[in-house]
Amino acid sequence: MEQKLKAILVGAIINNQQHFSDSMEELYHLAAACDIEVVGKIIQKLHRENSAYYIGRGKLQEVQTLIAQKAADMVIFDDELSPSQIRNLEAILQCRIIDRTVLILDIFGQRAKTREAKLQVEIAQLQYMLPRLVGLRAALSRQGGGRGARLRNRGFGETKLELDRRKILGQISRLHKELEKLVAQRQNQRKRRKKNEIPVIALVGYTNSGKSTIMNALIEMYNSQAGKHVFEKNMLFATLETSVRSITLPDNKTFLLTDTVGFISKLPHQLVKAFRSTLEEVAEADMLIHVVDYANHNYQQQIEVTRATLKELGADNIPTIYAYNKTDLVPCENFNLERDCVFISAKEKTGLEQLADAIRQMAFTRYVNCELLIPYDKGNIVAYLKDNANINSTAYNSDGILISMECKEADYKRYQEYANTGPL
CATH number of the CATH domain containing 371 = 3.30.70
Q: pLDDT, tens digit, for every residue of 14-53?
A: 888 878 888 899 899 889 888 899 999 999 999 899 999 9
Q: Does residue 148 form part of some domain?
A: no
Q: What is the mean pLDDT of residues 200-213?
A: 91
Could you tell me the pLDDT band of residue 8, with boundaries at 50, 70 and 90?
very high
pLDDT for 34: 86
Q: Does residue 242 form part of some domain?
A: yes
Q: What is the mean pLDDT of residues 400-410?
A: 92
Bridge partners, 38 (sequence order): 7
Please tell me whether residues 81 and 204 are part of one structural domain.
no
Q: Which residue has the higher pLDDT, 71 or 280?
A: 71
Report the SS3 class of residue 363: helix
Beta-sheet strands, E only, within 253-300: 254-259, 287-293
Q: What is the mean pLDDT of residues 370-395?
A: 92
Asked whether residue 153 carries a pLDDT value surpassing 50, the answer given is: no
Q: pLDDT, tens digit, for every residue of 289-337?
A: 999 999 998 899 999 999 998 888 888 899 999 999 999 988 866 666 6
- Cα separation of 288 and 62, whole Å? 47
pLDDT for 107: 85
CATH number for the domain spanning 295: value is 3.40.50.300
Please tell me whether residues 32 and 118 are part of one structural domain.
no
Asked whether residue 242 carries a pLDDT value surpassing 80, the answer given is: no
Please tell me whether residues 212 and 317 are part of one structural domain.
yes
Name which of 5, 47, 7 is nearest 24 in CA terms.
7
Please tell me whether residues 345 and 380 are part of one structural domain.
no
DSSP string of 289-352, one letter each residue: EEEEETTSTTHHHHHHHHHHHHHHTT-TTS-EEEEEE-GGGSPS------TTEEE-BTTTTBSH
Q: What is the CA radius of gyration of the chain?
A: 27
Asked whether residue 139 carries a pLDDT value surpassing 50, the answer given is: no
pLDDT for 350: 92
Name which of 266, 269, 298 is nearest 78 in CA terms.
266
Q: What is the mean pLDDT of residues 199-209?
A: 91
Q: Which residue has the higher pLDDT, 184 or 146?
A: 184
Asked whether residue 221 carries a pLDDT value surpassing 80, the answer given is: yes
Please tell me whether residues 71 and 59 are part of one structural domain.
yes
The dihedral through the CA atoms of 253, 256, 261, 265 has a sign that is negative
Flag the least confident range among 138-147, 247-256, 414-423.
Answer: 138-147
| Structural contact between residues 342 and 351, judged by C-beta atoms closer than 8 angstroms | yes
Q: pLDDT, tens digit, for every residue of 106-121?
A: 888 887 777 888 888 8
In eight-state DSSP terms, residue 255 is E
Could you tell me the pLDDT band of residue 240, with boundaries at 50, 70 and 90?
low
Please tell me whether residues 323 and 258 are part of one structural domain.
yes
Q: What is the mean pLDDT of residues 213-236?
A: 73
Burial readout 282-315 (b: 16 or more C-beta within 10 A, e: otherwise): bebbbbbbbbbbbbbebbebbbebbbebbebbeb
Q: Does residue 149 form part of some domain?
A: no
Asked whether residue 185 carries a pLDDT value surpassing 90, the answer given is: no
pLDDT for 272: 76
Q: What is the mean pLDDT of residues 373-385?
A: 93
Residue 168, H or E segment = helix 160-195
pLDDT for 146: 41
The dihedral through the CA atoms of 72, 17, 235, 120 has a sign that is negative
Please tell me whether residues 202 and 348 are part of one structural domain.
yes
Q: Does residue 161 form part of some domain?
A: yes
CATH number for the domain spanning 13: value is 3.40.50.11060
Q: Which residue has the higher pLDDT, 304 or 280?
A: 304
| Owning domain of residue 372 | 367-418
- Summary count for the chain: helices (H), strands (E): 13, 13
Asked whether residue 66 carries a pLDDT value surpassing 90, the answer given is: yes
Flag the least confident range among 68-77, 91-100, 262-271.
Answer: 262-271
Average pLDDT, the chain: 83
Q: Does residue 72 form part of some domain?
A: yes
| Structural contact between residues 132 and 117, judged by C-beta atoms closer than 8 angstroms | no
pLDDT for 61: 94
Q: What is the mean pLDDT of residues 74-95?
A: 92
76 burial type by CB count under 10 A (0-12 exposed, 13-18 middle, 19+ buried): buried
- Cα separation of 324 and 209, whole Å? 9
Amino acid identity, residue 37? E
Asked whether residue 147 carries a pLDDT value surpassing 70, the answer given is: no
Could you tell me the pLDDT band of residue 262, with boundaries at 50, 70 and 90?
confident
Q: What is the percent of the chain with per-residue pLDDT over 90, rounded to a whole number?
A: 43
Residue 40, H or E segment = strand 36-46
Please tell me whether residues 21 and 100 are part of one structural domain.
yes
276 burial type by CB count under 10 A (0-12 exposed, 13-18 middle, 19+ buried): middle
Domain count within the chain: 4
Q: Does residue 423 form part of some domain?
A: no
Q: Is 70 left (phi over 0), alpha (psi -120 to 50) or beta?
A: alpha
Please tell me whether residues 31 and 123 are part of one structural domain.
no
Report the SS3 class of residue 373: strand
Please tell me whether residues 121 and 246 are part of one structural domain.
no
Q: Does residue 135 form part of some domain?
A: yes
Q: Does residue 359 form part of some domain?
A: yes
Could you tell me the pLDDT band of residue 358, with boundaries at 50, 70 and 90?
very high
